[in-house]
């Protein structure tokens, strides 16, 4: 029994370790699971600039990932739909509707040009290991310059643990990495391509939970249109949850239609007597229009599963980026130094005619020795000792190249190499600045729409009584000039809640914004009353006609109210002037009646309000006439 138990324990530990490290949990170094890493390796090897059939890519990838073509094809489609590392051509499915991709033989893909910017494929910098059968090599892990796990997200269930990393906005990640390099504080939150709203109050930097909601368009009170999906939802799953809630009697709907294509559009029509505001809370409560999602950033770090925060991952990659840039610069310096050495050897070999010394030599050893001895007088010009390999390269120089050797061209090439070496030395002294420049350069390589944020961050965990309250209180205005909820008779102007604020424009030319009053005297000339919401008030075009008391000259001004302070009176005409008329119509006609004077035939003149341009509220009006005005008649 002890033997069986030990055998079981040993095999179970090996199985658990395999599932954790090689199947379900992404590695922190490149943010990829093994199958994703092998797909990228395959695409890099096959890259010739043209699209490849996905079926061909899957077949090639099986040289490195021997777990069946369906698992590779599914992982490739998921990775391609992230839109960062793989370019697509054909039907790769629809993340909004949940429709699957076409068969691998019908769709094509290729590596994204910027994938090589983010993942280091240079074998001198990235470690490569033999594949499962030893016939080829594959990267152990890529050295990534950005936190890939945050860019594409990850989800996996292993033995005794799981990971759930929501994707983030690429622009925000790069900006956060820049701030980390500058030792500045930063904060980042998830962003999913299907949009929606999220409450991150309990997100805990990646290891808490979010509340995600669909976005509604309720401009039509008899219809609700879902325009954006919650996290981890499709239009099909959302539709099913709404239908289930309807069958259970939780919500009242008349019909539901799904018009989703490349964006979400689910229309919910409401029955008679039911309005959008009545159904909104029920949709959040009883359907997938609101979801709570638990998150945990579990990654493989130093071959061990480790829980990290989004901030820690970004700071880790900021330091890692500096190290990668350093390694790339040092490798480039080695390459340039070696090239400079070869140029110097070639110049001396040809210019000093060292090749002449080998004409009488009979053996390879003698030739080798003669060449090395020929370089002895020029040892100080060499960057290192000459080797047998260097001699072989020199001996392979064709006679035509020797006869046409251009010393000036060689010196120019050497000068160019030395210039590059100086630039590299300068960069090695300012690695952090180089890293920041690299990230800023990456931001500039994407189109603005590719970096646009889709998910809106909002706070809706706690119920806001102002949102819950219904506008069912009548705001009345009576003939005595009183406005308010406590006015029992008169004309009903608005339906409001006790939390609303209202905008009041009086006939005297004074306007103000206040809380909904119980009973407020506003005078017998009320021009306009509306909700004090900027998009409503800003849309109203007011026309005021006023007269100077001394000259009796009339002016007209058309304006919009763009800002205000609560409980403060504003006069729309210059101080001391008399307001003769205020109107909210875009077009109307009016007549000025002039003061009667001897030898004057014209006693009145007609005008159109829309003939005058719109101005700011504090601006001077346009003079209507140079004559004194007695009265004004406005045509209804």
Q: Active-site residue numbers?
A: 106
Output DSSP code: residue 577: -
How far apart CA 308 and CA 28 sit, in angstroms, is: 10
Contact partners, residue 309, CB within 8 Å, separation at least 6: 204, 205, 206, 207, 297
**Residue 194 and residue 233 in contact, taking contact as beta carbons nearer than 8 Å:** yes
Contact partners, residue 92, CB within 8 Å, separation at least 6: 77, 80, 81, 101, 102, 107
Give the tokens for residue 464: 């806001």
How far apart CA 170 and CA 436 sit, in angstroms, is: 15
Helix, strand or coil for residue 50?
coil
Distances in Å between the Cα of 124 and the Cα atoms of 48, 146, 218, 415, 432 are 22, 19, 58, 26, 22
**Residue 220 and residue 268 in contact, taking contact as beta carbons nearer than 8 Å:** no
**Residue 581 and residue 591 in contact, taking contact as beta carbons nearer than 8 Å:** no
Give the tokens for residue 351: 């210019």
Output DSSP code: residue 21: I
How far apart CA 457 and CA 212 sit, in angstroms, is: 9
How far apart CA 498 and CA 468 sit, in angstroms, is: 12
**Residue 299 and residue 316 in contact, taking contact as beta carbons nearer than 8 Å:** no
Helix, strand or coil for residue 362?
coil
Which of 636, 604, 609, 606 shows the shortest CA–CA distance to 622?
609
Backbone conformation region of residue 217, classed left if phi is above 0, alpha if psi is from -120 to 50, else beta:
beta
Helix, strand or coil for residue 68?
coil
How far apart CA 300 and CA 33 sit, in angstroms, is: 10
**Residue 528 and residue 505 in contact, taking contact as beta carbons nearer than 8 Å:** yes
Give the tokens for residue 402: 């020797």
Contact partners, residue 61, CB within 8 Å, separation at least 6: 38, 39, 42, 72, 76
Which residue is associated with the tokens 């889709």?
454
According to DSSP, the β-strands at 266-269 and 223-228 are: antiparallel
Which of 603, 610, 478, 489 shows the shortest CA–CA distance to 541?
610
According to DSSP, the β-strands at 501-506 and 526-531 are: antiparallel
Which of 359, 341, 96 shows the shortest CA–CA distance to 232?
96
Beta strands in 460-525 (DSSP E): 473-477, 482-484, 491-496, 501-506, 510-515, 520-521
Which of 518, 528, 526 shows the shortest CA–CA distance to 473?
518
Distances in Å between the Cα of 325 and the Cα atoms of 118, 346, 370, 424, 521 are 12, 31, 42, 11, 72
């Amino acid at each position: 029994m002890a033997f069986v138990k030990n055998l079981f324990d040993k095999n179970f530990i090996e199985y658990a370790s395999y599932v954790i490290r090689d199947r379900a949990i992404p590695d922190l170094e490149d943010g990829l699971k093994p199958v994703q890493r092998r797909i990228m390796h395959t695409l890099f090897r096959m890259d010739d600039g043209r699209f490849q059939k996905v079926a061909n890519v899957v077949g090639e990838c099986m040289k490195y990932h021997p777990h069946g073509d369906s698992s590779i094809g599914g992982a490739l489609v998921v990775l391609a739909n992230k839109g960062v590392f793989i370019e697509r051509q054909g039907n790769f499915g629809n993340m909004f509707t949940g429709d699957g991709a076409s068969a691998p033989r019908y769709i094509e893909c290729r590596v994204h040009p910027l994938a090589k910017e983010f993942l280091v494929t240079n074998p001198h910098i990235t470690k490569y290991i033999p594949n499962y059968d030893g016939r080829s090599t594959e990267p152990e892990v890529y050295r990534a310059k950005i936190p890939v796990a945050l860019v594409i997200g990850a989800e996996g269930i292993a033995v005794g643990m799981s990971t759930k990393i929501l994707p983030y906005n690429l622009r925000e990640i790069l900006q956060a990495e820049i701030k980390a390099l500058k030792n500045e504080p930063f904060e980042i939150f998830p962003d999913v391509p299907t949009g929606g709203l999220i409450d991150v109050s309990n997100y805990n930097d990646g290891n808490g939970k979010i509340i995600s909601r669909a976005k509604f368009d309720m401009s039509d009170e008899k219809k609700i249109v879902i325009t954006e999906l919650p996290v981890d939802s499709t239009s099909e799953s959302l539709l099913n949850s709404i239908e289930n809630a309807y069958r259970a009697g939780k919500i009242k709907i008349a019909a539901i239609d799904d018009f989703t294509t490349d964006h979400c559009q689910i229309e919910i029509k409401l029955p008679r007597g039911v309005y959008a505001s009545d159904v909104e809370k029920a949709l959040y409560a009883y359907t997938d229009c609101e979801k709570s999602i638990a998150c945990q950033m579990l990654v493989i770090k130093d071959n061990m599963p480790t829980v990290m925060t989004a901030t820690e991952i970004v700071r880790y990659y900021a330091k890692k980026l500096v190290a990668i840039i350093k390694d790339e610069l040092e490798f480039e310096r080695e390459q340039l130094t070696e090239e400079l050495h070869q140029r110097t050897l070639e110049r001396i070999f040809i210019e000093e005619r060292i090749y002449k010394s080998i004409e009488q030599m009979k053996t390879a050893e003698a030739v080798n020795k003669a060449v090395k001895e020929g370089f002895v007088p020029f040892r100080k010009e060499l960057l290192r000792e000459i080797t047998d390999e260097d001699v072989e390269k020199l001996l392979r120089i064709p006679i035509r190249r020797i006869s046409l050797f251009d010393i000036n061209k060689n010196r120019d090439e050497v000068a160019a190499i030395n210039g590059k070496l100086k630039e590299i030395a300068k960069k090695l002294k300012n690695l952090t600045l180089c890293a920041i420049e690299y990230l800023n350069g990456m931001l500039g390589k994407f189109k603005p729409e590719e970096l646009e944020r889709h998910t809106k961050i909002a706070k809706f965990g706690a119920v806001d009584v102002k949102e819950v309250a219904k506008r069912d209180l009548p705001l009345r205005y009576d003939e005595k000039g009183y406005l308010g909820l406590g006015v029992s008779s008169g004309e009903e102007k608005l339906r409001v809640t006790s939390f609303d604020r209202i905008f009041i424009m009086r006939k005297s030319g004074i306007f103000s914004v206040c809380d909904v009053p119980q009973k407020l005297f506003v005078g017998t000339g009320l021009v306009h009353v509306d909700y004090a919401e900027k998009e409503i008030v800003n849309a109203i075009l007011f026309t005021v006609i006023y007269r100077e008391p001394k000259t009796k000259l009339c002016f007209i001004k058309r304006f919009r109210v763009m800002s205000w302070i609560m409980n403060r009176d504003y006069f729309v005409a210059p101080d001391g002037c008399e307001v003769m008329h205020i109107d909210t119509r875009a077009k109307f006609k009016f007549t000025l009646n002039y003061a009667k004077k001897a030898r004057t035939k014209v006693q009145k003149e007609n005008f159109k309000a829309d003939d005058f341009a719109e101005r700011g509220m504090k601006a001077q009006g346009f003079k209507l006439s140079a004559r004194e005005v007695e009265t004004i008649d406005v045509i209804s």
